Every structure is written in C-alpha cells, then in structure tokens.
Amino acid sequence: MNNGYFSAIQNLFTKVNEKNKQVMQQSASILAECFERDGILHVFGCGHSHMIAEEVFYRAGGIVPVRPVLIEDVMLHKGALRSSEMERDPCFADTFLPLQPFEPNDALLVVSTSGRNPVPIEVAQYGKEIGMKVITISSHAYHSLSTRHSSGIFLSETATIAIDSCIPQGDALVTIEGLETPIGPGSTIINAAIVNDLIIKTTEILHKNGIAVPIFKSGNIDGAEEHNERAMRKYRDRIGMF
C-alpha cells in the first residue's frame, strides 16, 4: 500500500513553514492591524481554491471577521470546464468586483495555485487600488511558465505580502511507478493549513496587545449559540450570509 501521500504532505508542510516564516509573520501583522481598525478579511479563490474562503468562514475555532467572496461562475458546481474558462477571461472580474463591499481598512486574501490566471490577479489589483492590503497564496514554482494576464505579471507580484505554497507544477505530489501522470493534489491541504496558521498568528498578536478578536465555538458544544450570537453582533452586517 502506497503511503507516499502522507510523506509528501509532511515534507510540503516543512518546506512551506521554512520558506514563509518571515512573510507569515508580516501577513499576521497586516491582519492584526486590519482587525484593530475594525476591518474584516475578504477571501477569494477560483475553482478548488474557493474552498479556502469557505474554510475560514463561520468556522468553529475560527475568527468572526472573515467574509468569503464566493462567485459561483468560477466555482465548480455550475460547470467545471466553464469555471476554468471564466477564470481565464480577462473581463470577467469587472462583472462582480464593483459589487463587493470592500472598504480601505479591510484586508484581502487571494488564493490561486498557479497565480497565472487573469481573474485572481484582477481581484488582487482591484483590492490594492482601493486601498486594501492584499495577501496572496500561490505557488511560485509556476513563475517559470508564462502568465495569462495581459500585463505579464503573476498573482504574487500584485501582493502587499506574497506567501509561497511551494506546490509543484501540476499540483500532484505522488508518482506511482508505471503511471505517466502524478497523482494526489496537495494545494487544498497546504492552503488551508497556511490560512489557519495565519489566523492563529494574527490572534496571538492581538491577544498580546490586549485586543480581543471574537472566535466561533462549535455549535455542537452546549452554550455555543449564545456565545456565537454575541461574537457575531459587531460584524454580522459586514460578513453577511446569516
């Protein structure tokens, strides 16, 4: 039985942690300043990367001031091939960005494994243009390929702080002898780990500075409903979807 996936993920965790120690702390400082100023974190991704926005929204053990930017046309449930086509459309971001409740004191996290498609790049650029600090998570291994954005840039080049997921080109982590194509994608697991570690580091900074950040309790714990209702009171109108 092949146990290569677990080994590959463990190696990836080590690599990402060592590569990003400084930028993770810088990113946490940006988020801490955002929350201290009553801003919120918006999270966006296309395709499977949209799951990272869902991972940190309304999550037990997660913080309250997080809003997912969920654009169905670049998610998979309305058509997988269609979502890939839309992510590469240089004009598509213009159809939803002006409708977003972004504010200059907010922060924006954009997740894209390759960082080479137009829509994530356009989202990040828009965020910076209106004054938000922008954090990106993408694999810098793709920088040896060509970007699909007309400006010639990759997602990481739009960022205030760029985190490298260190995912190899093609995402798959395991090679099976006799099979031509590698198997076992790693981007979702490592991206979820990065964003959760980022939120923990941010909370540590705020706690050390005497600033409380509301944290969700699991709805399966007695008393959680009352706790979560109090926690959401300040942010309910901004993070939405309740």
In CATH, what number is assigned to the domain containing residue 75? 3.40.50.10490
Give, as one character, the DSSP assignment of residue 140.
G
Q: Does residue 157 lie in a domain region?
A: yes
Strand, coil or helix: what is 84?
helix
84-134 pLDDT per residue, tens: 999 999 999 999 999 999 999 999 999 999 999 999 999 999 999 999 999
**What Rg value do the Cα atoms of the chain yield, rounded?**
18
The residue type at 239: I
Q: Is residue 200 part of a domain?
A: yes
Within a domain: 1: no
Amino acid 200: pLDDT = 98
- The contacts of residue 212 (CB under 8 Å, 6+ apart) are 206
Does 104 fall in a domain? yes
User: What average pLDDT does range 225-242 have in this prediction?
Assistant: 88
| Tally of domains within the chain | 1
Tell me the pLDDT of the chain averaged across its residues. Answer: 95
Range of the domain at 79: 8-237
242 in a structural domain: no
Mean pLDDT, residues 226-234: 92
User: Does the pLDDT value for residue 148 go beyond 50?
Assistant: yes
The answer on pLDDT for 1 being more than 60 is no
Convert the pLDDT of each residue in 172-224 to its tens digit. 999 999 999 999 999 999 999 999 999 999 999 999 999 999 999 999 999 99
The residues near 98 (Cβ < 8 Å, ≥ 6 apart) are none
Give the pLDDT confidence of 29-78 residue by residue, as tens digits.
999 999 999 999 999 999 999 999 999 999 999 999 999 999 999 999 98
